[in-house]
């Protein structure tokens, strides 16, 4: 009993310390921005090479007001979400098959590994040629880049289900679907979510790579456009938006993880 | 073989494929267990005790011979047979009560029936206060008690236990042995328990089966006519010592 109480109060203390420590990165960011601003003004570097944070934030406000930032963000976001969903879906279906069948694994794994040595930037132009400069090619590129980490984690996740628990389920005469939903999915969930977390950030990269190759919309297109116009502050605005998008997606999966895996961390 | 036997093993042999002719784990094991009996199986390590239990429970199929449960041939896991494994084998993402509910859930019972039965079983194993605890917060003994509750929740006629106290410390082990005896008498279930402790076997069982070295076959089939309920004092009687010696010399 005492141990319990002591543990709890200690946990509360470490929680408060954790919160303070989590503020430190923000503090560091603030200091870095101040130095940046000061250095640029003092050295009189031209705006199109390195704009100070104040100019970038002003450009951000303008892009928000004229609606262009939101429009391009929504385009990229929809590509990212569709790519993530498509890539994760196919990868987890195939991953489950590979985890369950060593024959399938032996047949497919050399090709899967080989396919990963092709840089995505090299494939992207092909996909744009085949599927056009619209959103479909971006979704596919994004799905491709999401595919591998999700696949690997799915295989590992389902392989690590303890065999004793399979014995238990069999001794209880569980049906195949019951074994899947009540044993395999929850047991593999920690590793599956780990793969999804990596996939979420990669999906953003995939969509932008696609937009770089050929597009008339989206944040990747916006970067290309601003670059051509020497509108460097707008390049920064687009990059910051992409970072924010990747971080939010990561955050969504991390929240999901905390909810679903409360049994691990408590 | 009397009419009152619930479980019969008939010339059970088991060979596992291993590349050079196979590994024979069991060789023509024959015995039958009376309804409501407490039977312990002991034997040297690697004598195929666990294999025997898995065959009896229908988790494995024998290469030769057959198992009969309630007069019917066992060819797969059966509803009326409960299983307790060497480790508690709880699902770490389920609370104690959710783990106990699992067998009922798989049978599609509704939530009310499920939790009522599961709660009764947790009470039986003395863990009513821990029903919302996660396995990681339970001690080894508590976890194994949850596992026993789970094995009993759908009221099996036969309970198979595979070294259920193997991972517990000596004191917990002793306490668990008596709790299991109490549960066995309350629930009126037939128990077949594999253990590597000779004293534990003699103290708990009506009957001790001794398996030989691999390939395992029955070396000794010994009745233990000690009165019930059993107590630790009984270990100091001369007969107890004799039975233990008998079992030990059969193993060696």
Residue B69 to residue B6: CA distance in whole angstroms: 6
SS3 state at A125: helix
Query: Which residue in B has a C-alpha nearest to residue A163's C-alpha?
Result: B89
- The string of DSSP letters for A238-249 reads HHHHHHHHHHHH
> What's the whole-model pTM score?
0.83
Rounded Cα distance between B26 and B15, Å, is: 7
Residue-wise pLDDT tens digits, A45-56 = 888 889 999 999
Question: Residues 47..86 of B with a Cβ closer than 8 Å to A: which?
Answer: 57-59, 76-79, 81, 83, 85
For chain B, what is the HEC assignment? Answer: CCCCEEEEEEEEEEEECCCCCCEEEEEEEEEEEECCCEEEEECCCCCCHHHHHHHHCCCCCCCEEEEEECCEECCCCCCCEEEECCCCCCCCCCCHHHHHHHHHHHCCCCHHHHHHHHHHHHHHCCCHHHCCCCHHHCCHHHHHHHHHHHHHCCCCCEEEEECCCCCCCHHHHHHHHHHHHHHHHHHCCEEEEECCCHHHHHHHCCEEEEECCCCECEEEEEECCCCCCCCHHHHHCHHHHHHHHHHHHHHC
pLDDT at B1: 44
B218: closest CA among B226, B230, B209, B227? B209
| Token pair 């073989």: residue | B1
Q: CA triplet A246, A198, A14: central angle to 5 degrees?
A: 85
Shortest alpha-carbon distance between residue A105 and chain B (Å): 23
How many CA atoms are closer than 13 Å to the CA of A69, on its beta-carbon side?
A: 20
Q: What is the pLDDT of residues A225-255, one digit of tens each?
A: 999 999 999 999 999 999 999 999 999 999 9
| CATH code, domain with B205 | 3.40.50.300
Question: Would you list the domain boundaries of chain A?
Answer: 1-44, 51-265
Tokens at A18, concatenated: 């954790």
Q: Rounded to an integer, what distance in angstroms lies between the CA atom of residue B166 and that of residue B160?
A: 15
**What total of structural domains would you count in chain B?**
1
Q: Which candidate in A1, A164, A171, A174 is best for mutational testing of the B interface (most B CBs within 10 A)? A: A171
Confidence of residue A2 (pLDDT cuts 50, 70, 90): very low
Q: Does domain A51-265 have CATH number 3.20.20.300?
A: no
Domain encompassing residue B41 = 1-78+200-252
**In the structure, what pLDDT confidence band is assigned to residue B251 with cuts at 50, 70 and 90?**
confident
Residues of B with CB below 8 A from A189's CB?
93
Interchain CB contact of A11 with B (< 8 Å): no
B129 assigned to some structural domain: no
Backbone phi and psi for residue B218, each to the nearest 5 degrees, phi listed first: -80, 120
B10 close contact with A: CB closer than 8 A: no
- Domain membership of residue B139 (yes or no) is no
With beta carbons less than 8 A apart as the criterion, state whether B204 and B230 touch.
yes
Distance from CA of B128 to the nearest CA of A (A): 17
pLDDT of residue A119 exceeding 80, the answer is yes
**Interchain proximity B81–A178, CB inside 8 Å:** no
Residues in B 90-149 with any Cβ partner in A closer than 8 A? 91-94, 102-103, 105-106, 134, 136
Q: The complex's ipTM?
A: 0.88
Express each pLDDT in B111-166 by its tens digit.
888 999 999 999 989 899 999 999 999 999 999 999 999 999 988 999 999 999 98
Whether the CB of A165 is below 8 Å from some CB of chain B: the reply is: yes
Residue B44 lies in a domain: yes
Q: For the segment A136-146, what is each residue's pLDDT rounded down to a tens digit?
A: 999 999 999 99
Task: Summarize pLDDT for B96-114 with one digit per residue, the tens.
Answer: 999 999 999 999 888 888 9
With CA atoms as reference, report the closest residue to A206 among A186, A220, A223.
A220
Q: Is B93 in contact with A186 (Cβ distance < 8 A)? A: yes
Which site among B60, B89, B95, B97 would you substitute to test the A interface, given the most A Cβ atoms closer than 10 Å to its Cβ?
A: B89
Cβ <8 Å between A168 and B92: no
Identify from B53, B58, B83, B93 which residue to disrupt to test chain A contact, counting A C-beta atoms within 10 A and taking the largest count. B93
Q: Which two tokens stand for residue A146?
A: 């999401």
Query: Which residue in chain B has the smallest CA separation from A173?
Result: B77
Residue pair B35/B202 in contact by the 8 Å Cβ criterion? no
Length of chain B counted residue by residue:
252
Taking only residues 173 to 192 of chain A, the set having a beta carbon closer than 8 angstroms to any beta carbon of chain B reads 173-175, 178, 182-183, 186-187, 189
User: For tokens 């090619």, what's the residue?
Assistant: A137
Other CB atoms within a 10 A radius of the CB of residue B229 amount to 10
Which pLDDT score is estimated for A266? 55
Crossing angle of the two packed helices A185-213 and A232-260, in degrees rounded to 10: 170
Indicate whether A259 pLDDT > 70.
yes
Residue A127 burial (C-beta neighbours within 10 Å; 0-12, 13-18, 19+): buried
- The phi and psi torsions of A143 (rounded to 5 degrees) equal -65, -40
- Per the model's pLDDT, the better-predicted residue between B194 and B214 turns out to be B194
Residue A263 and residue B93: Cβ atoms within 8 Å? yes
Residue of A nearest to B56 (CA): A171
User: In chain B, which residue's Cα lies nearest the Cα of A176?
Assistant: B106
């Amino acid at each position: 009993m005492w141990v319990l109480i002591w543990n709890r109060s200690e946990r509360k203390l470490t929680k408060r310390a954790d919160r303070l420590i989590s503020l430190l990165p923000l503090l560091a960011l603030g200091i870095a921005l101040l130095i940046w601003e000061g250095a640029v003004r003092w050295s009189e570097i031209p705006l199109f090479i390195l704009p100070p944070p104040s100019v970038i934030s002003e450009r951000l406000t303008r892009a928000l007001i004229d609606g262009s930032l939101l429009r391009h963000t929504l385009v990229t976001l929809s590509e990212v979400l569709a790519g993530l969903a498509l890539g994760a879906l196919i990868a987890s279906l195939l991953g489950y098959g590979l985890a369950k069948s060593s024959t399938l694994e032996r047949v497919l794994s050399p090709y899967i590994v080989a396919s990963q040595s092709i840089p995505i930037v090299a494939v992207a132009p092909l996909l744009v040629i085949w599927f056009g400069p619209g959103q479909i090619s971006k979704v596919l590129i994004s799905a491709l880049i999401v595919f591998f980490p999700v696949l690997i984690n799915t295989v590992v996740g389902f392989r690590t289900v303890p065999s004793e628990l399979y014995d238990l389920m069999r001794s209880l005469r569980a049906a195949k679907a019951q074994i899947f939903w009540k044993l395999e999915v929850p047991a593999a969930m920690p590793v599956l979510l780990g793969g999804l977390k990596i996939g979420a950030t990669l999906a953003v990269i995939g969509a932008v790579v696609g937009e770089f190759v050929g597009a008339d919309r989206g944040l990747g297109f916006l970067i290309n456009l601003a670059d051509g116009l020497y509108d460097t502050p707008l390049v920064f605005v687009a990059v910051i938006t992409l970072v924010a998008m990747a971080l939010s997606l990561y955050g969504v999966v991390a929240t999901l993880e905390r909810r679903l895996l409360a049994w691990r961390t408590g | 073989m009397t009419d009152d036997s619930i479980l019969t093993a008939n010339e059970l042999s088991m060979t596992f494929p291993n590349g050079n002719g196979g590994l024979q784990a069991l060789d023509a094991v024959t015995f039958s267990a009376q309804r409501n009996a407490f039977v312990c199986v002991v034997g040297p390590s690697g004598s195929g005790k666990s294999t025997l239990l898995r065959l009896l429970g229908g988790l494995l199929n024998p290469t030769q011979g057959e198992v009969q449960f309630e007069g019917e041939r066992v060819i797969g896991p059966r509803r009326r047979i409960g299983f307790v494994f060497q480790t508690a084998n709880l699902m770490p993402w389920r609370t104690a009560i959710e783990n106990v509910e699992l067998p009922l859930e798989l049978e599609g019972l509704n939530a009310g029936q499920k939790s009522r039965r599961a709660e009764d079983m947790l009470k039986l194993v003395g863990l009513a206060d821990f029903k919302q605890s996660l396995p990681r917060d339970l001690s080894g003994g508590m976890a194994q008690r949850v596992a026993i509750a789970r094995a009993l929740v759908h009221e099996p006629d036969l309970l198979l236990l595979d070294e259920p106290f193997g991972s517990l410390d000596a004191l917990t082990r002793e306490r668990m042995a008596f709790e299991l005896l109490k549960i066995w008498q309350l629930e009126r279930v037939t128990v077949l328990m594999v253990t590597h402790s000779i004293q534990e076997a003699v103290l708990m069982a009506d009957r001790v089966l001794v398996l030989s070295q691999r390939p395992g076959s029955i070396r000794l089939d010994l009745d233990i006519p000690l009165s019930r309920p059993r107590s630790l004092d009984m270990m100091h009687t001369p007969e107890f010592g004799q039975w233990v010696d008998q079992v030990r010399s059969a193993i060696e």
